[in-house]
Structure 1
Amino acid sequence: MSWPRADVLRTDRLSLEPLAVEHAGEMVVALAPRNLYQFTGGEPPTLEELDKRYRRQLRGQSEDGRAGWLNWIIRSAGGGPNVGFVQATLTREGADLVADIAWLVTPSKQGRGLAGEAASAVVSWLTSMGVGRLQAYVHPDHTASARTADRLGLVPTSTLIDGEILWEAVTTSLAHQQEGAR
């Protein structure tokens, strides 16, 4: 199966660059604050770990080809250091293309709507690529991520996996919501 490749995406304030191995050096700084892992667990990655992870992600799909991987680095539209990332894992459920999305903004840049703006650009792009359903997993105590998911038109479900709530939306309902918000 051939999966789409990430395109450069732009918003009024942001530029989303497709992931490159060269991003590891600056992303290690953005991912260093320990409070980023409050809800997800884990530790800040080392440069070597990020380099290895990015090389694997740049294959664009899982080893068995059943999942496609899309990753963007977020930075200001005017340039400067990155502020985080958005990623989408694509799978097929029957004829439907499903995207599991995630976002992260470094703590010093949080609270400005950047995660929602970046993720919205990715959601619009995914919808244009034929994605029929979007989903994200959000820790029940992570109110900022819940606000971002809500802004994207996702709604929480009763499904809890690894301590996180599944949020989802069918993209036709997203398009209707976005038209109503204009």
Structure 2
Amino acid sequence: MSWPRTVPLQTDRLSLEPLAVGHAIEMEAALAPPDLYRFTGGQSPTLQELQSRYARQVQGRSEDGSAGWQNWVIRPARGGPAIGFVQATLTQDGTDLVADLAWLVTASEQGRGLAGEAASAVVTWLTSIGVRHLRAAIHPDHLVSARVAQRLGLEPTLTVVDGEVLWAAVVAADPHGREIGQAVGR
């Protein structure tokens, strides 16, 4: 499968840049606050871990080609250091494209709707390239991420994987090219 290339995206307040290995230096600082791992576990990655991870991710696909990787670094539209990321792992389910989404905004920038704004820009782009199924795994106590998922049109399902609830939606284009979201069955 030939996966789409990650493209730059822009919102009123944010610039989403396709991930590059060079982003590791500034992302190390953005990912440093321990509170970021309250719901996901783990700890902040080292510079070397980020460089290694990003070197794999910028390839744009899994080693076997079964998944496409779309990764963006979020920064203020006016410039400045990176403040987070959005990622989408694309897979094929029959003839349908599925995107598993994840987002994170550094602790000092939280509470301003930036994660939702960035993730919405990514979802708009994903649906424009034919993605029709959206999913996100969210810890049941992570109310802020749940609000972001709701903003994207996702709803919680009864599926729980590794302690996280799967949120999902089916997105279809209407005849005028606008996106219409519909939560999937519980």
Question: TM-score over 0.5 for the alignment?
Answer: yes
How far off is 1:177 after superposition? 5.2
How far, CA to CA, are the matches of 1:19 and 1:158 in structure 2?
A: 33
**Identity rate of aligned residues, in percent?**
68
Structure 1 match to 2:12? 12
> Which consecutive segments of 4 or more residues in structure 1 shift more than 3 A?
none
How far off is 1:132 after superposition? 1.1
Q: Deviations over 1:59-90 (max 9, x none)?
A: 11111100000000000001001110000000
Matched AA of 2:49:
E
Structure 2 match to 1:46? 46
How far, CA to CA, are the matches of 1:122 and 1:53 in structure 2?
A: 21
Q: Does 1:176 align with 2:180?
A: yes
How far off is 1:172 after superposition? 1.7
Matches within 5 A, 1:141-156: 141-156=141-156
Q: What's the Cα RMSD here?
A: 1.3
Q: Deviations over 1:23-67 (max 9, x none)?
A: 000000000011101100111000000000000001111111000
How far, CA to CA, are the matches of 1:108 and 1:166 in structure 2?
A: 27
8 Å Cα contact 2:87/2:103 also seen in 1: yes
Q: TM-score, normalised by structure 1?
A: 0.95
Structure 2 match to 1:100? 100
How far off is 1:176 after superposition? 2.7
How far, CA to CA, are the matches of 2:39 and 2:5 in structure 1?
A: 29
How far off is 1:175 after superposition? 2.0
Gaps of 5+ in 1: none
How far, CA to CA, are the matches of 2:168 and 2:133 in structure 1?
A: 7
How far, CA to CA, are the matches of 1:79 and 1:2 in structure 2?
A: 32
Matched AA of 2:62:
S
How far, CA to CA, are the matches of 1:175 and 1:59 in structure 2?
A: 29
Structure 2 match to 1:114? 114
8 Å Cα contact 2:68/2:91 also seen in 1: yes
Structure 2 match to 1:77? 77
Gaps of 5+ in 2: none
How far, CA to CA, are the matches of 1:102 and 1:124 in structure 2?
A: 15
Structure 1 match to 2:30? 30
Which structure features the higher share of helix residues? 1
How many residue pairs get aligned? The number is 178
Partner of 1:121, secondary structure, is helix
Matched AA of 1:8:
P
How far, CA to CA, are the matches of 1:10 and 1:27 in structure 2?
A: 19
